[in-house]
Amino acid sequence: MSSLYNGTRLSLQRGRHIMLRRFYTQNSLKNTNIGKDFFTKNSQKNTIMGKKFYTQNHKRNITQFDLLYLYSVFVVSCCLFSSDTIRTYIKHIPEYFSKVSLKNENMAIIDQQDHKTIANLIADRHKPAESYYLLIGPYGIGKTVLVTLAKERAGKGVLYVDAPNEEAFSTNLSQEIKNLKWSVHDRYYWNGWFNEFEKIAEKIRRKENYTPLLIIDNVKISKENFSYSNMIRKIQHSAKDASKHGNYNVMFIANDLKTLEFLLDDPAESNMEIIFLGDLNKDVALSYLQNHEVDKNTAEKIYEIFGGRIIDLNHVAKCYERNKENENFLNDYVDIKSNSIIYKLDKCFVNDKFQSKVLNFLYNHSDRPFKRSGFKFSDSRWDFTDDELYDKLVYKNIISMSKNLENTFGSPFTRYVFKNLYNQKGGSKTSGGIIETCSN
């Protein structure tokens, strides 16, 4: 393992990385023989990996489905089959109970102060509402998992609603209300269900002395979806009024600056508390990896590459578990991940010269955040705007937000890729590197 770190860095250099060579030369890789071979091999890899991913996840879903299925078969068996058959089903049902409960036991709130503070805020339902919240942070830092675990800790009074669109909000809110066994009449539109929630929340606050909390996840504002934006705005106003009277709390969850700007661009923002959730610090990240049986030296190298982004740490830990005997597992995993980032970047551009300018800008900001106002590239010769390109990069998770609510890379690993986009030997730039190409 001694050469693991050096090998990992080398894997991002021009000579070993075919996809990165696309950016060194600014030529279309797909039209070359090397490119055709590369895409053929990787499409096969992706097919194999896709089958493996599907199989693993399919098995997890079947486990929970089988629990219900076994119950139904058991009931039918009582009527139709012999006592031997019934005993067989009785024998296997506890196995599924143990698997499902084990999965829940393995999930725990991360032992980091910001995670614990947010969990306590959600779980403590005894204080009257004084504000509503926006929980914001980049993709993959564990916002959804955190609030779900905190909801379980609260025990009652917390409704979690995934709301990427109006229909999902209405469906999921109605289901949450029914799960809590609140007596309601069926409603058909989001505002009907939300009004029902408000009535019940006010009654509970008055009679039972705890404050219901409505968590609305995956809020994403866009110009194209006016009706969805209007729904979020109306809920924002209601959340402000509720916080004045202490009736209930609302927590919006988002991961992009446009949604933040939308919520701030209204007088109702005066009662909104912004909570930023970032990456794990080094000690917590290393502890997380070592709890997944990653040795200390490998954990250090993983953290230097992937930082404290929990989704990446989780994926690389699982990769390590499957490939413990392979000394080059980290090199191989870095290659796969960097390929995916370069592929997403390639899909964002239609003009090579324009592409070079943007890549140069991103490379030069790999060590510091940048303001949205500094992202200016397009002119009248091109049929797209800076806003359209910016939205593409955000959608592809190339750009995200930093703790000071400016722009930065979507993840520590994305930053790592950009910092290694050209080869340096002896302190001099190698001919054909991306920086030289961009300056031509």
CA–CA separation, 361 vs 2, rounded Å? 35
In a shared domain, residues 364 and 424: yes
Give long-range contacts, CB 8 A cutoff, 24+ apart: 258-265.
Answer: 258/220, 258/221, 258/222, 258/394, 259/136, 259/219, 259/220, 259/221, 260/134, 260/136, 260/401, 260/405, 262/221, 262/229, 262/232, 263/134, 263/232, 263/236
In a shared domain, residues 289 and 263: no
Q: What are phi and psi of 293, to 5 degrees?
A: 65, 25
Residue 266 sits in a domain whose CATH number is 3.40.50.300
Give long-range contacts, CB 8 A cutoff, 24+ apart: 186-194.
Answer: 190/166, 190/231, 191/231, 191/234, 194/235, 194/238
On whether the CB atoms of residues 250 and 242 are closer than 8 A, the answer is yes
In a shared domain, residues 121 and 267: yes
Check residue 382 and give its pLDDT.
Answer: 61
In a shared domain, residues 302 and 189: no
Please give the single-letter amino acid code of residue 268.
Answer: A
In a shared domain, residues 218 and 269: yes
Beta bridge pairs of residue 253: 135
Would you state the structure tokens that stand for residue 223, as one six-digit string?
């110009």
In a shared domain, residues 220 and 354: no
Q: Which letter does DSSP use for residue 142 in this model?
A: S
Per-residue buried b or exposed e for 354-386, using 16+ beta carbons within 10 Å of the residue's own CB: bbbebbbebbebbeeebeeeebebbeeeeeeee
Domain end call among 242, 276, 310: 276
In a shared domain, residues 168 and 253: yes
In a shared domain, residues 318 and 434: yes
In a shared domain, residues 296 and 433: yes
Domain end call among 81, 107, 133: 107
Largest distance between two CA atoms of the chain = 82
Q: Between helices 412-419 and 329-346, what is the axis angle to 10°?
A: 90
Distances (CA, A) of 110 to 198, 217, 281: 32, 20, 11
Per DSSP bridges, beta strands 249-254 and 213-217 are parallel
Check residue 222 and give its pLDDT.
Answer: 87
In a shared domain, residues 126 and 268: yes
Rounded to the nearest angstrom, the gap between the alpha carbon of residue 46 and the centroid of all alpha carbons in its chain is 21
Check residue 164 and give its pLDDT.
Answer: 94
The total number of structural domains that make up the chain:
3
In a shared domain, residues 37 and 51: yes
In a shared domain, residues 351 and 434: yes
CA–CA separation, 30 vs 42, rounded Å? 13
Domain that holds residue 71: 32-107
CA–CA separation, 130 vs 243, rounded Å? 5
Per-residue buried b or exposed e for 194-217, using 16+ beta carbons within 10 Å of the residue's own CB: bebbbebbbebbeeeebbbbbbbb
Domain end call among 214, 241, 276: 276
CA–CA separation, 118 vs 123, rounded Å? 9
Check residue 297 and give its pLDDT.
Answer: 93
Name every residue whose Cβ is closer than 8 Å to that of residue 48 and which is 6 or more positions away in sequence: none
- C-alpha dihedral (95, 100, 101, 103), degrees to nearest 10: 120
Per-residue buried b or exposed e for 60-78, using 16+ beta carbons within 10 Å of the residue's own CB: eeeeeebeeebeebbeebe
3-state helix, strand, coil split of the chain in percent (to 5) is 60, 10, 30
Q: pLDDT averaged over consecutive 10-residue blocks of the chain (440 residues)? A: 41 42 40 43 46 43 49 48 42 36 55 93 86 94 94 90 93 84 64 83 81 94 90 95 88 94 93 94 95 93 95 93 86 91 81 76 84 76 75 89 88 89 41 35
